[in-house]
Chains A and B, each alone.
Chain A
């Protein structure tokens, strides 16, 4: 198992380097001189030249890439053109908000998703099943901006229960968490339901029933653990997706997180900042995939001991 983990780790590192290279190349082919964009149209030519040299943009592109990678490994992503601060410190403060949003959205999604999925499966075909699955389907089909705006309109504007935007207090995070988690909750409940229904057909469930366990014990202690194998994998991937920056949710609710920082970087044509946020976000996703793979083998004794 350790071997397969190391192989996956090496693969992840290769992918990450590929990602860094791709971002780097894509942002270099954008037309327009970044220094001129940063300084404005009326900048003095000598100042532009001095800045170009200072930022190392006169060097060959592979030198720039090497410098960028070594810098990134030390946590130095350069300085944001538009905001004038180090990219790493901007990302650090933004990540705090993204983390709060992701954790609350994930908790919402997991609790609601698993609960609805289990209840639907054990009452398959009944009214509760239809209601929950209708909600789940809405969850996976509603675009995030729609959920977000409906919540803003109804709970923020119409009922005045919760703040519409910002990231000051924990109350600010309730609506964004629901908006962001809604989608995931739908996906989780559907997966939980279908997996649990499959698991309940297994022979060992019949064995557990034949042992004289009550149906509740059978579901909670025998079926659910097997059901959770694929669900946990999905949960890990979803969570890393949220951590990589919920672009739409953060924009709609004006939360200064990683996703919003990316949008700011694009609208400000701020290459170092965009490079930093995209690289960070992708790294988080790759890490999430790695963790979800490992979680699976930790939870499933068949994989754990074989390898």
Chain B
């Protein structure tokens, strides 16, 4: 495939496997993502659907027995899969960086937060400590940390959850990476703080950083993303522009997800939920992985795995219901 220069990151056919004594599982199965420059892309799904694993694979942070089985991860056209560890270190934190769900435990408790941030710029740009310190303080200001000079010398336990997450973002942004991966960045935060952090991420995006936002929260996705991937049991079930996805969801799973949010909003007496729970990766169902929980399940859903159909331009869905070749239904 020819590299598209408008893409910050392109994931092609990524599969991740875990080998254990009990068997081999594939928590990420043939996932393809495209993150265009300057956009915010969302991945939404229940916990355990493989979205964090996908992010970690992009960062090269998978540790045995978890490994990339196949696929390519193209960062500005360069394949990161199989890159030696030393080269990957140069990419991490510099070209792609990541922030995690837990701002409480994500910072080293025995190091001053300022040191933790300027460490990133010192390893990648080899600048003297005093200059790194200046940059860190400037970055603290940019991400909205009050009294940045004083905060430089704080320990993590002295900061609130929101401030810690700002420190994490400062750490991730200080080398001005092309891509920021945010794995549930607001899940552990209060709603008001969540709104502030999301606003900050939009500002950073406007300043030129592409963002991959991972969340189980549809509201968060709807607020900031341009384009959304819906993930289930290691696969992409649906992908679309954010408006298209929320206005006309195609996949029964996506509809179920949206229903469960909307029914809350409408205060209907009956809470619409998706029956059953996320399948165990060791015992994935035959055919479509969602079929056991699907209300519109067809006969062949249980036997053949559906491919991605594109019923509308730019709106893809992995469901037999959208097979145009009606003779097969």
Q: Do chains A and B touch in the complex (CB under 8 A)?
A: yes
B89–A203 CB distance below 8 A:
no
B228 at the interface (CB under 8 A from A): no
In the complex, what residues of B have CB within 8 A of residue A202's CB?
105
A210–B109 CB distance below 8 A:
no
Stretch touching chain A among B117-125, B240-248, B257-265, B306-314: B117-125
Of A204, A207, A222, A229, chain B has the most CB atoms within 10 Å of the CB of: A207
- Within A173-229, which residues are at the interface with B (CB < 8 Å)? 202-204, 206-215, 217, 222, 225-226, 229
B61–A209 CB distance below 8 A:
yes
Q: B109: which of A211, A213, A214, A302 is its contact (CB, 8 Å)?
A: A302
Q: How far is the CA of A207 from the CA of B119 in the complex (A)?
A: 12
Q: Closest residue of chain B to A125, judged by CB?
A: B64
A32 at the interface (CB under 8 A from B): no
A305 at the interface (CB under 8 A from B): yes
A301–B85 CB distance below 8 A:
no
- Within B52-91, which residues are at the interface with A (CB < 8 Å)? 59, 61, 85-86, 89-91
In the complex, what residues of A have CB within 8 A of residue B61's CB?
206, 209-210
B102–A301 CB distance below 8 A:
no
Q: How far is the CA of A6 from the CA of B94 in the complex (A)?
A: 48
A37 at the interface (CB under 8 A from B): no
Q: How far is the CA of A204 from the CA of B113 in the complex (A)?
A: 12
In the complex, what residues of B have CB within 8 A of residue A215's CB?
85
B107–A210 CB distance below 8 A:
no
In the complex, what residues of B have CB within 8 A of residue A222's CB?
108, 111
Interface size in chain A (residues, C-beta < 8 A): 24
- Within A38-73, which residues are at the interface with B (CB < 8 Å)? none
Q: A212: which of B93, B105, B111, B116 is its contact (CB, 8 Å)?
A: B93
B106–A212 CB distance below 8 A:
no
In the complex, what residues of A have CB within 8 A of residue B93's CB?
210-213
In the complex, what residues of A have CB within 8 A of residue B109's CB?
204, 226, 300-302
In the complex, what residues of A have CB within 8 A of residue B255's CB?
none
CB within 8 Å: A-B pair count:
80
A302–B155 CB distance below 8 A:
yes
Q: How far is the CA of A202 from the CA of B90 in the complex (A)?
A: 22
Q: How far is the CA of A206 from the CA of B101 in the complex (A)?
A: 11
* A209-B61, A213-B119, A214-B86 known; A301 vs B155 contact (CB < 8 Å): yes
Q: A226: which of B94, B110, B172 is its contact (CB, 8 Å)?
A: B110
Q: How far is the CA of A119 from the CA of B259 in the complex (A)?
A: 53
Q: B106: which of A203, A213, A300, A301 is its contact (CB, 8 Å)?
A: A203
Q: How far is the CA of A302 from the CA of B171 in the complex (A)?
A: 21
In the complex, what residues of A have CB within 8 A of residue B97's CB?
210-212
* A202-B105, A203-B102, A305-B158 known; A214 vs B110 contact (CB < 8 Å): no
- Interface flags for A279-307 (1: CB within 8 Å of B; 0: not) read 00000000000000000000111100110
In the complex, what residues of A have CB within 8 A of residue B98's CB?
210
B230 at the interface (CB under 8 A from A): no
B37 at the interface (CB under 8 A from A): no
Nearest CB in chain B: distance from A285 CB, A: 28
Given pairs A301-B110, A302-B109, 15 additional interface contacts (CB within 8 A): A203-B100, A203-B102, A207-B116, A210-B172, A211-B120, A211-B171, A212-B120, A213-B89, A213-B93, A214-B86, A226-B108, A301-B155, A302-B157, A305-B157, A306-B157
Per CB-CB distance, the 5 closest pairs between chain A and chain B, nearest first, are A212-B93, A212-B92, A211-B93, A203-B105, A204-B108
Task: List 21 A-B residue pairs with CB atoms under 8 Å apart, sorted by A's residue number.
Answer: A203-B106, A204-B105, A204-B106, A204-B107, A207-B108, A208-B108, A209-B61, A210-B59, A210-B97, A210-B172, A212-B89, A212-B92, A212-B93, A213-B93, A213-B119, A214-B85, A226-B108, A300-B110, A301-B155, A302-B109, A302-B155
Q: B-contacting residues of A (Cβ < 8 Å)?
A: 202-204, 206-215, 217, 222, 225-226, 229, 299-302, 305-306
